[in-house]
Each structure stands twice: as C-alpha cells, then as structure tokens.
Amino acid sequence: MHTSPYWNPKTETLAREDLRALQLVKLRRVAEWAQARSPFYRRTFAAAGFTPEQLRTWADIDRIPLLTREEWMQSQADHPPYGDIPVAADASAIRMHTTSGTSGKQPLRALDSRKDWSWAAEMWCYALWGAGVRPHDIGYVAFGYGSFIGFWGLHNGLEKLGALTIPGGAQTTTARVKQIVDFGVTVVASTPTYALRMAQEAEIQGLDLRASPVRTVILSGEPTPAATRDLIEGQWGAKVFDTAGMTEISTIFMFEPADQPGGCHIIEDHFIEQVVDPDTGRELPYGEAGERVTTSFGRSMIPLLRYRTRDMVVKLPHTATSNGRTWDLYEGGIIGRVDDMKLVRGTNVYPRAIEGIVRQFADVDEFQVEITREGIRDEITLHLETVDGFADASWEELELALLTELADAHEGLRFLIRRRGAGDLPRFELKARRLTDLRVAR
C-alpha cells in the first residue's frame, strides 16, 4: 500500500508558481464553460464587461464579477426550481441537494452530475487521508442523510478510500453511540455540537468513549473554537480534525492535516480562495481577517466563480507549516460569519468567541445567548444548563467566573446569566444556533 501522507502527492506539494499556473488554466476553462452554457453567467459577464479571454494573468481574476447568495436565490425565484446558473437541464444531473437553511432563508437547491458528485467525494478523500484515515479504518457518519448535503460527500469519500463505512442515519443519539462502541468504530464524523451531544449521551449510558477504538473525530458544519475542540478531544479520547465546506460547492474546500498546524489547508488545485474586506471587496493580505470568496473548479453543472461566502477567515501562507504541502491555510478554520457579529452597547459580540469562553467551563452542559432591548438599553443574557451532578453551592462561583471571563473578552460588557433546568435548552444534530437577537424581531 502507498505510504504517502498525501492523498495526491503531485499537487499537494506542487511549487507555488506551478500551482498558480494550474489554477489559471482551470479558471479560464471554467469561465469559458460558464460563458458558453450558463444563461446567468452570460448575463452577468456581459453586464461587467468581462470575457474569459481577459484572463491572461493572475491579477485578471478580479475582472470576474462577484456572485452573491442573494443573486443565486433570486435566480431560483425567477427560474424555479434551480435557477439559470446550471449549465444543463436537471435531466443531466444525478443528485439534488439543498443548503441547511439555518439562515432562515429559503434553502438553495443544487444539482450535480456524475463527475461532480465523484469530485465531491474526492475532496473529502484529501481531508480523510490527510487526517490519517486509511482503508483499514471503520468510519461512522453521525448524520441524518436528508436533502441537506451535510456529510453525504464524506460518506462517499470514506467508501472511495476503502474504509468500512457505517451510515448512522435515522436513529436516536443513544442508538448511534451504542453502534459506535459495538462496531469498533475508529473514525467518527459529525458536527462539533453533535460530537459533544454524543459524548454526553455515552456518559448517560455508562459507555466510556475514551476506552473505545475511536481515535479520530472529523468535524464539519460549524466553526470549532479551540475550547470546543479540547472538550471533544477530552471526552472522546481522540484527535479532532476540522474541515469546512458548503452546499454551494457541494463539498469541502479545506482540511486540517495530521500534524495539526493550527489551521486548515485550502485544497488549492481545485479552488481559488480570496480573502476580501466585506465592506469594500478589496483583497486583503495574509494575516488579516476577511470574507472568503471562492472559485470552484470541480462542479460542471453549477460553475461557481468568485462566490461571496460570508465566512470570515484569516489566510496564512503555506510556509506556516512544515508538512510539505504548498497549499495556503486558514488559521483556526472558519472564525465566524460576516453577519454573525452583533453590536451590544457599542461592543462587538461574536457567537464563536462566547462559545470559546463558555466551553472552557466543564460544568456547563449547554447554553444559549439572547440579546434583547429593555427600554433604550440592550441586554445580553447567557442561559445555561449545568452538567448532571453539579453542586448548587458552586453556582455563585461559576457565575462569577463566567461573568468575569465574558466581560474581560468584551471590553467590560456585562452579561446577564440565567441558570436553566436540565433539558430546557435545545440540542442540535446539525448546525447549532445558540444566539438569538430579539431586537430584530421587535
């Protein structure tokens, strides 16, 4: 068996100048394909005065007009059900998936051809192999297998890689945890939130995950703050690997390699990832936080050129790692969403930052953040459940410690803390929503 640490040694270690040249070749072909076959792109390219022949150097990429989710949704509203971005009729596709709809908007509907879907699995193979998953592994996919794309691609990637793949759909958390232990699973895939939920359920069932063969947990679907990662690694006794993808590209675009350099490699032979100022659209240098703009080469049915993702990231050069890959990284993975930030009494509040603090407290089992307006004053309240067996006498100490940590991280902003009863707060299998801004609804 090949012992390479890379799924694709040729391109994962390609010299940067060659990588850029390869990306430019693919970019031209995708732009030509979009122009020739997609009514949407023909229209937007013409409006921007762009033609694929203009793509002569790397800098020419900025000639391609940006694509927003709103434009895509409008296209699907105007030309239901799939819009006019697809290059062919739905009869040419073999799969249809949707976004999760966590933003409260109508989910996007996306079509894939045979090759597209094969490519989606391939991107997961880069991640799985990079995390050390091998054909002898037993993979468990803790996911509901609905029309939301979720871990479908990972499932196919595990199969392609040759691992024994167990679909954990349509069953309770209790049943899933029992299967993981009973079948000797070595690799588990889930969202960060659901990994915590399964660990909690294992404890209730008296199952010791740390003593199980699980050695790898592959996460996707939500940002993973360091404290959440530490918690999952402690509860599972396994190494955690972060990934991120989106339905709009049908798969993942980055993965955390085995040496865990503090970030995720961008799969750069299949994507061009730019980081821009969300307000001006200006491309930002390495090290500055900005919005991801992605161009995907893999999807034939839906060419995706310069799509504004609303994900916030910080890009680092590949030299930040010593694992031999020449692909740039996103430090800490996805650090939030452009529209996640809330302003409370003049202070910026990010859900991921709050989670990073709350998860440091092992006595907290679940939490929700609520922002309200009381008269002319905004209030931010942390609702939390404590773990089973938490001593009431320790509550004041926990509350004070949380208040101090939260205030220190938010320019002195005073949070309110409310203790809730066991099971009062919602649990999540997929994308968790732990912040509610009730000011918007009023």
Contact positions vs other proteins (CB under 8 A): 8, 10-11, 18, 21-22, 25-26, 29, 33, 87-88, 92, 113-115, 117-119, 122, 160, 269, 297-298, 300-301
Nearer to other proteins by Cβ, of 24 and 73: the residue is 24
Q: Which residues 6+ apart lie within 8 Å of 172 measured at CB? A: none
- CB nearer to other proteins: pick between 11 and 274: 11
**Least distance in angstroms from the C-beta of 87 to other proteins:** 7
Cβ at position 33, least distance to other proteins in Å:
6
Inter-helix orientation angle 351-358/226-236, to 10°: 40
CB of 32 to other proteins, least distance (A): 10
Pairing of strands 239-246, 364-374: unpaired
Give dist(CA 54, CA 60) in Å, integer. Answer: 7
Neighbours of 372 (CB within 10 A): 16
Q: At its nearest, how many Å lie between other proteins and the CB of residue 329?
A: 20
* Nearer to other proteins among residue 26 and residue 410 (C-beta): 26
Task: Output the smallest distance, CB 371 to other proteins, in A.
Answer: 45
Residue 44 CB, shortest distance to other proteins, in Å, is 19
- Least distance in Å: CB of 413 to other proteins? 48
Q: Which is nearer to other proteins, 298 or 333 (CB)?
A: 298
Q: What is the smallest separation between the CB atom of 156 and other proteins, expressed in angstroms?
A: 10
Candidates 301, 329, 331; CA nearest to 317 is: 329
Q: How far is the CB of 51 from other proteins (least distance, A)?
A: 19
Are the C-beta atoms of residues 386 and 350 closer than 8 Å to each other?
no
* In the complex, least distance from residue 30 CB atom to other proteins, rounded to whole angstroms: 9
* Both tokens assigned to 165: 């793949």
* Pick 209 or 301: Cβ nearer other proteins: 301
Residue whose CB is less far from other proteins, 22 or 66: 22
State the Cα–Cα distance between residues 405 and 58, nearest whole angstrom. Answer: 45
Cβ-based nearer residue to other proteins, 43 or 114: 114
Task: Kindly state the smallest distance separating residue 37's Cβ from other proteins, in Å.
Answer: 8
The CA-atom distances, in angstroms, between 339 and each of 95, 311, 379 are 30, 9, 19
DSSP string, 102-117: TTSSPPPEEEE-HHHH
Closest CA to 162 of 113, 121, 195: 121
The span from the CA of 86 to the CA of 300, in Å, is 8
Which residue is it, tokens 């509550």?
395
Q: What pairing do the DSSP bridges indicate for beta strands 251-255 and 263-266?
A: antiparallel
- The residue among 119 and 367 lying less far from other proteins, judged by its C-beta, is 119
Q: Whole-angstrom Cα distance, residue 438 to residue 442?
A: 7
Min dist CB 28 to other proteins, Å, is 10
In a 3-state reduction of DSSP, which class is residue 205? Answer: coil
| Cα–chain center distance at 133 | 20
Q: Which two tokens stand for residue 354?
A: 């709050």
Between 90 and 288, whose beta carbon lies closer to other proteins? 90
Q: Is 20 helix (H, G, I), strand (E, B) or coil?
A: helix
* Beta carbon nearer to other proteins, 14 or 357: 14
Return the number of the residue (11 or 186) whose C-beta is nearest other proteins.
11
- Alpha helices (H) in 370-417, listed in sequence order: 395-409
CA dist list (Å): 96 to 14, 112, 165, 167, 227: 34, 7, 22, 19, 36
What tokens were used for 161? 């890689």
The count of other CB atoms within 10 Å of the CB of residue 136 is 10
Burial of 432 (0-12, 13-18, 19+ CB in 10 A): buried
User: Whose CA is closest to 144, among 191, 112, 110?
Assistant: 191
Nearer to other proteins (CB atom), residue 88 or residue 391: 88
